[in-house]
Chain A
Amino acid sequence: MGKKEILEGLRDATVEGDVDKVVSFAKKAIAEGIDAYEAIMEGCAAGMNIVSEKYEKGEMFVPEILCSAEAMYAAIGVLKPYLKAERVETPKKIVLGVVRGDIHDIGKNLVKIMMEAAGFQVIDLGRDVPNEQFVEAVMREQADICGMSALMTTSMIAMPEIISELKKKAPKTITMVGGGPLSEELARAYGADGYAKDAAAAVRVAKELLIKRGGA
């Protein structure tokens, strides 16, 4: 089997969420001497890009995304030990969390999956995260982006407070918000740099904002 077929196999098995198949292709990639980084980016990440596009078009839904993510992580588990240090670019860092008072983290987890697939390093703070933890994590990690998620109309009011603190303490950090009750209008009112309506859009918006900031 040639390199092209193996990368396509990794990509398609990721889209299908087929863990056995993707692991088999990952092993073949190693056996054939394909660069592990290339296998992840051209195989698994390419697959997750397709998943992301299909989700945006309403052709795939969350159960399928979660299965694709399982497959991607399984393949990465096989490929990771073979990554060459010099091939790994310094990834952009994003601090991600669900704001205080909110324990609904499925949206945040989807953003994490999509961001990791796109090559970001995600610092996941989890759910019900106090405001100061966002600020501390951004400063400690020197994060490029801080992403805040909320499902509840009541918890999202923490967002402008976090954004305001970040503007003072880490003014270069890009702030992004998302989640069920949020909107472009509300994100602007909160002073956020960006808003994403879903996980797929989050990656696109993050990349656009990084280019705008001049650090992509």
Chain B
Amino acid sequence: MIDRMKPGERLAAVLMGQKPDRVPVIPFILGFAAKIVGVPIGDLYTDPKKSFRAQLLCAEMYGYDSSPMYGYASFGAWEFGGKVGFPYEPGQSAPYVIEEPVKSEEDVDKLEVPDPKTAGSIPIMMEIARQCYAIGLPAVFQCGEVLTTAANIAGPERLLVWMKRKPELVHKLNKKIEEFFVACAEYFVSTFGADKCMAFGGGPVESNKLISPNQFGEFVYPYMLRVHRKVLEMGVQIILEHPCADQNKNLPWYRKLREECGWKGKYIWVFGPETPLENQISLFGDHDVIMGNVDPPSFQFKSFEEILLLCKDNIERGMKNPSGYILGVGCEMPPNAIPINVYAMIKASREYGSYI
């Protein structure tokens, strides 16, 4: 089929509950864009101008529907006073923690909630958001997840042991992170206006590979609920929520979150490939958009034809969501994905995702 809508129009239609010409495609591309434009992946995370340009041009070249944004899974360490490294060495693909700001129980008390205007990567996130805003794209800011951020601040093993032995320390740390995320949201909303912003949350430490659903209920849910409520109260309408990896046992909590937030706004759910689309549709389909979750590693080693079939299957199942569907991947597109496999997503949308 020939595209009858532009990327921005297509996505806007889905978010407004209307039918676009075809299924929008958001391949969750960050580091991959560096390869396309010929800059080091590290530049995507350190240079807002290069990052914005690379992401924009990559989207334009392929014709997919996402706009530039900034964020990474190791978020929090730098912002709270630690050190991160950037992916400039062979094989590296995303920022990583070099030094955690919390190394002892005493450090939790000493930890100060940073000013979002100057904290770590926030100025870079803000600059990319400014460039997006200037051309009518959403200004995206990070608002979660709290426990993944806590793990980046205190180190995952230390934090997970504290959850059993010193739970009060984890709550103390989480409270500070909650405060920081709310301050970040206020900063972006006051800069651009709530209707121009989109919040993004996600992280792997919440996954059931690591923690139980009960631990999610104790150490994640209350903080997440308060942050989301505040973000929605500020007037932000769109939250892109990425429960990373296997979070099937946490699904009731995510449903509860939406119920307790009164189903305000519109969520775009990006679960890992472990969570069947049908389960997502039954929980959120009456209100929210579901983004497809094609298996990301497959893009590195499967053939174009195989990826096309994976996308076709995802589209056929995802289009059953009454509140909208976007073809996507279950986590970040691997920077070493075979370039033609990214095009398979666009081709699949055109061939199998038509609403006309």
Which residues of chain A from 95 to 115 have a CB within 8 Å of any chain B CB? 99-103, 106, 109
* B204 adjacent to A180 (CB under 8 Å): yes
User: Which residue in A103, A158, A183 is a CB contact (below 8 Å) of B297?
Assistant: A183
Band of interface residues on B: 35 or more
Chain A residue at minimal CB-CB distance from B333 = A153
| Residue in A63, A64, A99, A158 with the greatest tally of chain B CB atoms within 10 Å | A63
Asked if A85 is an interface residue, CB under 8 A from chain B, the answer is no
How long is the Cα–Cα vector from A106 to B297 in the complex, in angstroms? Answer: 20
Chain B residue at minimal CB-CB distance from A160 = B301
How long is the Cα–Cα vector from A58 to B247 in the complex, in angstroms? Answer: 12
* A154 adjacent to B31 (CB under 8 Å): yes
User: Which residue in A61, A180, A182, A198 is a CB contact (below 8 Å) of B211?
Assistant: A61
Asked if B110 is an interface residue, CB under 8 A from chain A, the answer is no
The smallest beta-carbon distance between A116 and chain B, in angstroms, is: 16
How long is the Cα–Cα vector from A158 to B336 in the complex, in angstroms? Answer: 12
Which residues of chain A from 173 to 211 have a CB within 8 Å of any chain B CB? 180-183, 186, 189, 198
Which residues of chain B from 264 to 303 have a CB within 8 Å of any chain A CB? 296-297, 300-301
* A100 adjacent to B157 (CB under 8 Å): no
Asked if B92 is an interface residue, CB under 8 A from chain A, the answer is yes
Asked if A155 is an interface residue, CB under 8 A from chain B, the answer is yes
* A103 adjacent to B161 (CB under 8 Å): no
Residues on A with beta carbons closer than 8 Å to the beta carbon of B336: 153-154, 157
* B211 adjacent to A181 (CB under 8 Å): no
* B93 adjacent to A101 (CB under 8 Å): yes
* B296 adjacent to A63 (CB under 8 Å): no
How long is the Cα–Cα vector from A181 to B274 in the complex, in angstroms? Answer: 11
Residues on B with beta carbons closer than 8 Å to the beta carbon of A186: 297, 301
Which residues of chain B from 136 to 165 have a CB within 8 Å of any chain A CB? 156-157, 160-161, 163-165
The smallest beta-carbon distance between B278 and chain A, in angstroms, is: 21
User: Which residue in A61, A152, A182, A189 is a CB contact (below 8 Å) of B93?
Assistant: A152
* A61 adjacent to B210 (CB under 8 Å): yes
Residues on B with beta carbons closer than 8 Å to the beta carbon of A109: 157
How long is the Cα–Cα vector from A198 to B157 in the complex, in angstroms? Answer: 16
Asked if B97 is an interface residue, CB under 8 A from chain A, the answer is yes
Asked if A147 is an interface residue, CB under 8 A from chain B, the answer is no
Contact A66-B160, Cβ < 8 Å, known A99-B91, A152-B93, A154-B31: yes
User: Which residue in A64, A152, A180, A198 is a CB contact (below 8 Å) of B94?
Assistant: A152
Query: How many residues of chain A have a CB within 8 Å of chain B?
Result: 31
* B160 adjacent to A63 (CB under 8 Å): yes
* A103 adjacent to B96 (CB under 8 Å): yes
Residues on A with beta carbons closer than 8 Å to the beta carbon of B334: 153-154
How long is the Cα–Cα vector from A183 to B300 in the complex, in angstroms? Answer: 13
User: Which residue in B97, B210, B249 is a CB contact (below 8 Å) of A62?
Assistant: B210
Chain B residue at minimal CB-CB distance from A186 = B297
Asked if B90 is an interface residue, CB under 8 A from chain A, the answer is yes
Contact A106-B157, Cβ < 8 Å, known A61-B210, A153-B334: yes
Residues on A with beta carbons closer than 8 Å to the beta carbon of B335: 154
Contact A63-B164, Cβ < 8 Å, known A58-B208, A180-B204, A186-B297: yes
Asked if B237 is an interface residue, CB under 8 A from chain A, the answer is no
Residues on A with beta carbons closer than 8 Å to the beta carbon of B92: 101, 154-155
The smallest beta-carbon distance between B159 and chain A, in angstroms, is: 9
Residues on B with beta carbons closer than 8 Å to the beta carbon of A58: 208, 249
Chain A residue at minimal CB-CB distance from B296 = A153
User: Which residue in A102, A106, A152 is a CB contact (below 8 Å) of B156?
Assistant: A106
* A154 adjacent to B245 (CB under 8 Å): no
28 pairs from A and B in contact (CB 8 Å cutoff): A61-B210, A61-B212, A62-B160, A62-B209, A66-B161, A70-B161, A101-B87, A101-B89, A103-B97, A106-B156, A151-B204, A152-B93, A153-B93, A153-B296, A153-B331, A153-B332, A153-B336, A154-B31, A154-B91, A154-B92, A154-B336, A155-B91, A155-B92, A156-B297, A157-B91, A158-B91, A181-B296, A183-B297
> Nearest 8 pairs between A and B by C-beta?
A101-B91, A154-B93, A153-B334, A63-B160, A100-B91, A101-B92, A181-B297, A61-B212
Name A's B-contacting residues (CB within 8 A). 17, 58, 61-64, 66-67, 70, 99-103, 106, 109, 151-158, 180-183, 186, 189, 198
Known: A154-B92, A155-B93. 19 other contacts (CB 8 A): A58-B249, A61-B210, A61-B211, A61-B215, A62-B160, A62-B209, A63-B211, A63-B215, A70-B161, A99-B91, A100-B90, A103-B97, A152-B93, A153-B331, A153-B336, A154-B335, A180-B204, A180-B209, A181-B297
